[in-house]
């Protein structure tokens, strides 16, 4: 993989991750752009012991543009975008409308393909591997940045869960704090009396097999016993690693086809594109890394054809979850999806 870093017109960093060593990335961003916005205002909520970012500039971010106006497609004559090149494999750049920036974190956009009409499930395995390598690269780089305490790599897919750009892409958040979900997990892991909280959970799922969807010698994908979402999947390595940057070449190679397979199984479930959030749960940058166990979580709000799960009063206000789809049923349905080539 060839890695080339350059700058956009307003000084933001852009990085090409190419699968060819002879790729030339000397294009210049010729747009006239205003300077990046001021960092968001971080406010502490004493009622929840959580931080909230107030980022008013995000009100002006691009919202569901026409295909011909997509800012993530390659640049063409008469149509300049966030990517100066006329083609790319995977490209990462600092978000123009970040939730976190400066010494209060960093936000990046990761474009998976130059093809606007593609989806993650349409990528070849080699491209999924490049995405994985880019995520690992950025995890390592952001972890060394001042002000970043926790790195989250993820993909939002589908208007139903709030996607504002249809181009196949993900994001990376370098939080200036440890995100609440991970912090709660670490509190439990610290008090756990077994060998390892997540490791023991993974071992039980592998031993049972009832909720396992797919796997190989290095990774297992399963629906967790207490899944909250109608269709929720964990993909975890058999070896404990803290984050993506710690994966071996063999582990990355074994992960890519499984990650791709899971997205294809989700789309094959009802024969329509599944809205989902796919996020890599990683250890904090500077603390409790031995308590974490890297894994991918994919969750969809679609519970049946034409039906979505909405977070109603009990779940939104009280955090008391009810799942309409038994995890065992969800796992069986996902296993039953027929995928060409598998």
Catalytic residues: 169
Q: Give the β-pairing of 2-7 and 41-45.
A: unpaired
Torsion of CA 189, 192, 194, 198, to 10 degrees: -30
Of 304, 234, 227, the C-alpha closest to 269 is 304
Check: CB of residue 118 under 8 Å from CB of residue 88.
Answer: no
**Encoding tokens for residue 73?**
């497609």
In angstroms, the Cα distances linking 270 to 273, 302, 333 are 8, 9, 10
Q: How far apart are CA 306 and CA 36, in angstroms?
A: 40
Residue ranges of the alpha helices (H) in the chain?
125-143, 180-191, 197-208, 249-270, 313-318, 327-336
């Amino acid at each position: 993989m060839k890695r080339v870093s350059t700058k956009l017109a307003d000084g933001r960093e852009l990085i090409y991750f190419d699968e060819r060593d002879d790729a030339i990335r000397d294009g210049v961003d010729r747009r006239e752009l205003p300077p990046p916005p001021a960092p968001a205002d971080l406010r502490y909520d004493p009622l929840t012991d959580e931080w909230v970012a107030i980022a008013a500039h995000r009100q002006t971010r691009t919202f569901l543009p026409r295909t011909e106006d997509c800012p993530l497609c390659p640049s063409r004559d008469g149509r300049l975008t966030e990517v100066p090149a006329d083609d790319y494999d995977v490209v990462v750049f600092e978000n123009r409308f970040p939730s976190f920036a400066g010494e209060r974190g960093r936000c990046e956009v990761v474009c998976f393909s130059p093809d606007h009409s593609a989806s993650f499930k349409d990528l070849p395995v080699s491209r999924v591997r490049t995405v994985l390598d880019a995520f690992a690269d950025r995890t390592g780089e952001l972890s060394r940045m001042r002000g970043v305490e926790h790195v989250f790599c993820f993909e939002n897919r589908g208007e139903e869960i709030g996607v504002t750009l249809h181009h196949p892409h993900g994001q990376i958040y370098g939080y200036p704090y440890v995100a609440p979900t991970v912090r709660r997990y670490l509190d439990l892991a610290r008090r756990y009396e077994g060998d390892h909280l997540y490791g023991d959970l993974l071992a039980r799922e592998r031993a049972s097999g009832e909720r396992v969807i797919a796997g190989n010698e290095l990774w297992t994908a399963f629906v967790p016993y207490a899944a909250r979402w109608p269709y929720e999947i964990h993909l975890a390595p058999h070896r404990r690693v803290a984050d993506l940057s710690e994966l071996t070449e063999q582990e990355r190679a074994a992960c890519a086809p499984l990650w791709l397979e899971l997205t294809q199984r989700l789309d094959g479930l009802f024969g329509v594109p599944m809205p989902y959030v796919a996020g890599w749960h990683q250890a904090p940058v500077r603390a409790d890394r031995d308590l974490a166990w890297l894994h991918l979580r994919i969750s969809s709000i679609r519970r049946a054809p034409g039906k979505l799960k909405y977070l109603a009063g009990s779940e939104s206000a009280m955090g008391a979850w009810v799942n309409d789809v038994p995890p065992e049923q969800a796992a069986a349905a996902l296993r039953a999806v027929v995928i060409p080539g598998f």
